[in-house]
Chain A
């Protein structure tokens, strides 16, 4: 699926999902990078030593989840837009997903948006909590959206303004 459709399978994802125990403690990074390509900005963007040093520039990122505080500074630095931060402690029923979003219009905080999965399919509605779009993000804004808790590992995109097309 990944090499023919671009959509990772459950087995692909299993290697990347942070352990449940860690997810219960607060926001944590999930790097959906499955292919050895010559690229390392995630490692250099991490200020907490959570993304381990690359021995070879082709290495897959490896995360020390205990060092990750979920700051999300790596999200907008990934040229592949493959980094997400998940917070499953947001509320009883909701989690948050922070994702890179390079489309206009940008949502505003408080706006309700469509939640999409990895194949672009609409899976529900969620509220935008934060839009980070400063100099650091450099035209790759980071959107934090509240999603039903059971969709924390499903939602990976949003659609602003409903079904335009």
Chain B
């Protein structure tokens, strides 16, 4: 049995920051990630981030990932386990079961756990939604930005949130034609500057539209065209408003759900909060769940965005270290600073949904 002071599950923005913050206070950390490199979704984010300098504003996600990963890898207090998937949490003794490189089963007994497992993509029900050529936006980003492969020639983007808008822009950068971006909501959900960026490229954005069906090419069996139709203000489709688009890719970007399995296993008190993407753990201001010693940070704590995920990670890392007695004298100041940063990021009109969601969570 391997022992560690703090196990951090997930090496994305929240997990990286949590590890660094805990190590900075003096704690020993084991960072576990199922991928073969650190960075989580940051490795696909080619656009510049919003926020302020403290949250790496104006720096591209890919570069933030590199900066944070390099700091983690050179920190002697942080041990990194890559290609390692946490597949179980045993609440009786607090042991984590980890599958390493798909062949070895390792048990880890941490004193504290920070769960920063992120989120998974939601999908959309429509006729033939399983045809080859229909992807989640994350898959399209992985293909293009990690592997340098374009998914097709003509794309229908479903979802005008930030991910849908950004991935549309990245598709255009890769030379792919985005025929339209549709969203069932009456208004664009993402930042308007992202929408303006794709509008300037001539991509039409159609709100109050959803997918009715997809159809395959008879010979290849792959997606050939999509039928979309308008929805009314009760989200009901309006017959007669159908439009046919000749596309070989439908990219689905309709939101994310927290990847909370470990938290369920740990016995954390969970609550369904639509504003935060699904089931999330109740927690206090220090990011600690109802199971003492189990902390959350990032999208698993409520789907938001990378800047706040990083600060939540920092907060969880600082508090987990402090609870073990580690404080290099700067804990109070750093904790206060992180809380203030989070509040300011969420204080504006676009943070309203998050504020509503969080109000139901913090115990």
Contact = CB atoms under 8 A, between A and B. Distances in A.
A139 interface: yes
B32 interface: no
Interface in B37-77: 47-53, 57-58, 60
A156 B202 CA distance: 12
Contact of B348 (A2, A58, A116, A165): A58
Interface in B172-208: 172-173, 177, 186-188, 191-205, 207
A116 B202 contact: yes
A14 interface: no
A44 B200 CA distance: 26
Given A2-B192, A57-B344, A79-B50, A41 B57 contact: yes
A146 B1 CA distance: 69
B196 A118 contact: yes
Nearest to A164: B175
Nearest to B201: A120
Interface string A19-63: 000000000000011111111110011000000000011100000
Contacts of A80: 50, 191, 193-194, 196-197
B196 A82 contact: yes
Interface in B305-361: 307, 344-351
A102 B46 CA distance: 11
A41 to B, nearest CB: 4
B45 to A, nearest CB: 11
Range class of the B interface residue count = 35 or more
A96 interface: no
B173 A102 contact: yes
A154 to B, nearest CB: 12
A44 B47 contact: no
Given A38-B51, A38-B351, A6 B57 contact: no
B192 A3 contact: yes
B92 to A, nearest CB: 42
Interface in A48-95: 56-58, 77-82
B199 A41 contact: no
Contacts of A40: 51-52, 57
B347 A58 contact: yes
A137 to B, nearest CB: 11
B341 to A, nearest CB: 9
A119 B201 CA distance: 7
Given A4-B207, A57-B344, A81-B193, 14 more contacts: A4-B188, A8-B196, A35-B350, A36-B348, A37-B50, A38-B350, A57-B348, A58-B349, A77-B58, A79-B48, A79-B58, A116-B200, A120-B200, A140-B48
26 contacts: A3-B187, A3-B192, A4-B186, A7-B199, A32-B196, A33-B193, A37-B348, A38-B344, A38-B346, A38-B347, A39-B50, A39-B57, A40-B51, A40-B57, A44-B53, A57-B348, A78-B58, A80-B50, A80-B191, A80-B197, A81-B197, A116-B200, A120-B201, A120-B203, A138-B60, A156-B200
